[in-house]
Chain A
Amino acid sequence: MNAPVFLIYGVLLLGLTGVAEYKGWSWNRINQQRVLPKSIRDNPGAYRSSYGGYSRYIGGK
């Protein structure tokens, strides 16, 4: 890759990094974005998390 092409590549990369930072992008997967009824605030147990029911033992040496 010659220097002008590298420069364009670098500027685009830094531009993308800047956009990612400004927009607040993240590597983390946030699976669910849904609209909930306001009653959840009064009855938090009624909400069913898409990650709920975790009971697997992972840690330990």
Chain B
Amino acid sequence: MAAVQAKSISCPNCGGPVQLRGFAHTLSVVCPQCLTVLDASTPQVQILQTFQAKQRVNPTIPLGSRGKIGDTQYEVIGFQVRGVSQGDEAYSWNEYLLFNPYKGFRYLTEYNGHWNFVHVESALPEKSRSGGKVSMHYEGMTYLAFDAMTADTVYVLGEFPWRVRVGDSASCEDFIAPPFMLSSESTSGETTWSRAEYMTGSQVWQAFRLPGSPPPVYGIFANQPSPYGGNVGSSWRTWLWLNVALAGLIFLFMFLSPGRVAFSDHYAYSQGVKSDSAFVTPTFALDGRNSNVELSIHTDLDNNWAYFNFALINDQTGQTFDFAREVSYYHDSDGSDGSRNNNVIIPSVPSGQYYLRVEPEMEPGSPYVRYELELRRNVPNYGFFGVAALLLLIPPVLSTFRKHSFEAARWRESDYAPTSSSDGGDD
């Protein structure tokens, strides 16, 4: 915006200079010295209202500041504080009036560090219902009813295109479609609709090139966009593709690890027969890459247990893999417990000629048990795939949970909160 000389008048109350930046649009202006509200619509400036503010409020963005929002440069020409008092709760927010000679007026509102860039709309939204909630339909978007209040003007500074007065009151309703908010303000039969878009403090500070840092942010604002909104959909899409890749991996290892039988034989164990107590199998070949070996034990146990000490021994190097498994199976008329079978996967076994040392044990006095031992080379370990599938679920589930938590926190502040009967709508 080109540098334009502001018009200046004298305050009829205190005689102090009062600048006019809105030119012919300005209908009222507040004297910065004595806070008298003046009627600037005629050359004979008249006093509209005198008010004694208990405390002067300094706008965070000084009057006269210029900033570029979008492609348009605006100048801050007015500032007002508006308050709501509902029961024992009271809160207020700040509104900055922005002016551009070609685009007209816009507003910048600030509450608890949350900012909104507001444009007064000329078209009327249509009332509708969405998901059982009252809503407004406007320019292809649906805005959900969020809250309703009566707002009073409690402090003014600068100039305004209407005859502003401290104590002005308006009924307001807010409808949200983050990051947008549609608001109505009604005063004596006249309703104005405006549409706001959420801005962060740093965006405002950057736009107006303000020194320091913006006010800290507290809570979640009505139309604050969820930082998790977009993440959830993309997380689940990524999860889907990763699961497709996981399925491909499973198929790949069904070919790479076919689980070829390297050794299989049947045995029987009877206590007291010395030759059964510890024996070794014939040698067998475990070929291919360093990979696992699965030993399966199938027994005919009946209300009994057996314990097997195993050692898988490399016939050439003597390298030994020492392990044991218990098999127990009990049953009665109430059901069964345990299993007649068990298995163990021995990890990373180098190729070579091997034999198995087997040493069964049973409860003294037990009848003999017949069992089969089967060794498979290169078996897919489906447990890893299962764990991978579970770990892949964590990020999208976490994103979904955080999104819902964010939305729940947002709607707790609403007059239309799902749990309004217990914790109430705040503002």
Q: Which of B278, B330, B346 contacts A60 (CB 8 A)?
A: B330
- A26 vs B381: C-alpha distance in the bound complex, in angstroms? 7
CB-based contact A21/B253 at 8 Å = yes
- Chain B residues 234 to 275 lying within 8 A of chain A, measured CB to CB, are 234-235, 237-239, 242, 245-246, 249, 252-253, 256-257
**In this complex, what residue of B is CB-closest to A57?**
B363
Contacts of A27 on B, CB cut-off 8 Å? 345, 381, 383
**B391 within 8 A of partner (CB):** yes
- Which among B12-20, B66-74, B137-145, B354-362 touches the partner chain? B354-362
- Chain A residues 6 to 61 lying within 8 A of chain B, measured CB to CB, are 6-7, 9-11, 13-14, 16-18, 20-38, 40-41, 44-45, 47, 49-52, 54-55, 57-61
CB-based contact B291/A40 at 8 Å = no
- Which among B105-113, B176-184, B312-320, B418-426 touches the partner chain? B312-320
Q: Which of A14, A29, A44 contacts B280 (CB 8 A)?
A: A44
Per the CB 8 Å criterion, the residue count for chain B at the interface is 74
Contacts A26-B346, A41-B280 given; does A51 touch B322 at CB 8 Å: yes
One digit per residue, 1 when the CB lies within 8 angstroms of any chain A CB and 0 when it does not, for chain B 304-331 equals 1101011101010111111110101111
Contacts of B357 on A, CB cut-off 8 Å? 40, 44, 47
CB-based contact A18/B249 at 8 Å = yes
Minimum CB–CB distance from A44 to chain B (whole Å) comes to 5
CB-based contact B330/A55 at 8 Å = no
CB-based contact B313/A40 at 8 Å = yes
CB-based contact B321/A33 at 8 Å = yes
**B231 within 8 A of partner (CB):** yes
Contacts A36-B320, A44-B278, A45-B278 given; does A52 touch B337 at CB 8 Å: no
- Which among B47-55, B152-160, B191-199, B392-400 touches the partner chain? B392-400
Contacts A52-B309, A61-B330 given; does A24 touch B320 at CB 8 Å: no
Q: Which of B252, B253, B330, B359 contacts A59 (CB 8 A)?
A: B330
CB-based contact A28/B277 at 8 Å = no
Q: Which of B235, B245, B329, B348 contacts A24 (CB 8 A)?
A: B348
- A46 vs B18: C-alpha distance in the bound complex, in angstroms? 108
- A54 vs B289: C-alpha distance in the bound complex, in angstroms? 34
Most chain B C-beta atoms within 10 Å of own C-beta, residue among A6, A25, A33, A36: A6
Most chain A C-beta atoms within 10 Å of own C-beta, residue among B320, B380, B387: B320
CB-based contact A33/B323 at 8 Å = no
- A56 vs B305: C-alpha distance in the bound complex, in angstroms? 10
Minimum CB–CB distance from B379 to chain A (whole Å) comes to 8
Minimum CB–CB distance from A23 to chain B (whole Å) comes to 6
- A21 vs B259: C-alpha distance in the bound complex, in angstroms? 12
Contacts of A57 on B, CB cut-off 8 Å? 305, 363
- A25 vs B345: C-alpha distance in the bound complex, in angstroms? 8
CB-based contact B292/A59 at 8 Å = no
**B384 within 8 A of partner (CB):** yes
Minimum CB–CB distance from A25 to chain B (whole Å) comes to 5
Q: Which of B242, B319, B330, B384 contacts A25 (CB 8 A)?
A: B384
Contacts of B315 on A, CB cut-off 8 Å? 38, 41
Contacts of B277 on A, CB cut-off 8 Å? 45
Contacts of B380 on A, CB cut-off 8 Å? 21
- A40 vs B355: C-alpha distance in the bound complex, in angstroms? 11
Q: Which of B235, B279, B305, B307 contacts A44 (CB 8 A)?
A: B279
Cross-chain pairs A/B with CB under 8 angstroms, 28 sampled:
A1-B398, A6-B238, A6-B395, A7-B238, A10-B392, A13-B242, A16-B388, A17-B387, A21-B253, A21-B257, A21-B380, A21-B384, A23-B348, A24-B381, A25-B347, A25-B348, A26-B292, A27-B345, A30-B346, A36-B313, A44-B280, A49-B324, A52-B359, A54-B361, A55-B361, A55-B363, A57-B363, A58-B326
19 new A-B contacts at CB < 8 Å, known A17-B387, A38-B315, A41-B313: A1-B235, A6-B238, A6-B239, A10-B395, A17-B384, A24-B257, A24-B378, A26-B346, A30-B323, A31-B323, A32-B320, A34-B320, A36-B318, A44-B278, A54-B324, A54-B326, A55-B363, A57-B363, A61-B330
Nearest 3 CB-CB pairs, A to B?
A24-B292, A59-B328, A51-B324
